[in-house]
Amino acid sequence: MTTVSMPRRAALAGLATLPLAAGGAQAQAWPNRPIRLVVPFAAGTTTDIFGRALGAALSQAIGQTVVVENRSGAGGNIGAAAVAKSPADGYTILLGTSGTHGVNASLYRDPGFDAVRDFAPVAAFVTTPVVLAVRPELGPADFPAFVELAKRRSQPLTFASAGNGTTGHLSQALLDQKAGTRTIHVPYRSGAQAITDLLSGQVDAMFYHSLPLMQFVQDGKLRLLAGTGARRTRNLPDLPTMQELGLQGFVVEGWWAVYAPAGMPQEIIRRLNAATNAFLQEGSTVEMLRNQGVEGLGGTPEALGERTVAEVAKWREVIRAAGIEPG
């Protein structure tokens, strides 16, 4: 659990006393009972870890218990749909992801909700790019050499991923579109299984979050060739981005954000937004997130709304161009 300094404790506690403007007696009394934070993935996952850290911070900030509820399934759709159908009274919120509020709108025929229409954006939380990893035995020492190999090989290079529609899968699809390569996607049930087969040479390459790969990189068993972020990450300052390597528009980032059911009073949204931003600005939070391989986002509800619209549109085009059939 993140330790909060006394000055920050006072600031967070002060958020709970902020007055709520006109919006009805219900909004003015909020919160007078526990709040449910739905995490749309299983306990122990990255999303769950982030959700529990956020829930603890919100509890302290607003002076009411925030209970994390794991509702997993269908790539996060089950939990997200449950929140979309909940009363917009400030007592049910969601830790959404780049999947639930970006990719899934095109990856599923019917996710059970509209990522834009059915939610009120509250605050962006954290983000992380993925990295391109290969075994040194494959040969290429840098990304241009990797692309050259992919184009000249008679047998297409194979890319492992943690499953259909993951950031790894979509990065592989975007690589083919942007670099003119022709590679084969090999989905696994988990990232751990995919890494195992990458290490053994069963597959040639993998786009994945850097943290689970770093021990293998340090041991010389894997080589990183590029990152997919909009900019280089603090943890890997020497690793070039795809855009730096000439693939303009190649940005793939996993991200998490707080959403509420559409129609939630703006006064409540503003308080949750302020509490989330305060948590992200705490020094111990920054350190904790970096140890997890991610960086804080924060910002206004309006900025998150714009991000959501842009991500839904972006992945609709990528998925269509890749010929990925919605399930």
Can you give the pLDDT at residue 1?
Answer: 38
Q: Is the pLDDT of residue 21 over 50?
A: no
Q: Are 260 and 88 within 8 A, CB to CB?
A: yes
Sorting pLDDT into bands at 50, 70 and 90, what band is 44? confident
Sequence-ordered list of residues with C-beta below 8 angstroms from that of 36, at least 6 positions apart, any chain = 66, 67, 69, 91, 92, 93
The per-residue pLDDT for 137 is 97
pLDDT at position 14 is 46
Sheet holding 66-70, edge to edge: 66-70, 35-39, 92-97, 253-261, 119-129, 295-296
pLDDT tens figures, 167-188: 999 999 999 999 999 999 999 9
Q: Please tell me the predicted confidence (pLDDT) of residue 179.
A: 96
Q: What is the pLDDT of residue 326?
A: 87
Share of the chain above pLDDT 70, in %: 91
Mean of pLDDT values over 240-250: 96
pLDDT above 80: residue 307: yes
d(CA 41, CA 74): 9
Residue 129: beta bridge partners? 253
Q: How high is the pLDDT of residue 46?
A: 86
- Binned at pLDDT 50, 70 and 90, residue 164 comes out as confident
pLDDT of residue 27: 54
pLDDT tens for 115-162 read: 999 999 999 999 999 999 999 999 999 999 999 999 999 999 999 998
**C-alpha–C-alpha distance, residues 292 and 276, integer Å:** 18
Give the model's pLDDT for residue 28. 61
What's the CA gap between 246 and 151, in Å, rounded? 16
Query: For the chain, which domains are there?
Result: 6-128+254-322 (3.40.190.150), 131-227 (3.40.190.10)
**pLDDT (average), residues 260-276:** 97
Query: DSSP string of 121-153?
Result: EEEEEEEEE-EEEE-GGG--SSHHHHHHHHHH-
User: In the predicted model, what is the mean pLDDT of residues 259-282?
Assistant: 97
Q: Is the pLDDT of residue 235 over 90?
A: no
Residue 104: predicted pLDDT:
95
What's the start-to-end Cα distance of the chain, in Å? 38
Query: In this structure, what DSSP letter does residue 288 have?
Result: H
- CA pair distance 315, 249, nearest whole angstrom: 12
* pLDDT classification of 211: cutoffs 50, 70, 90: confident
Is it the case that residue 320 has pLDDT exceeding 50? yes
Strands of the chain, DSSP E:
35-39, 66-70, 92-97, 119-129, 131-134, 158-161, 184-187, 205-208, 223-227, 253-261, 295-296
Other beta carbons within 10 angstroms of residue 317's beta carbon come to: 11
Which of 109, 74, 122, 43 has its CA nearest to residue 82? 74
Task: Identify the pLDDT of residue 90.
Answer: 97
Mean pLDDT of 27-41: 90
The tokens for 39 are 């995490």
CB 60 within 8 A of CB 12: yes
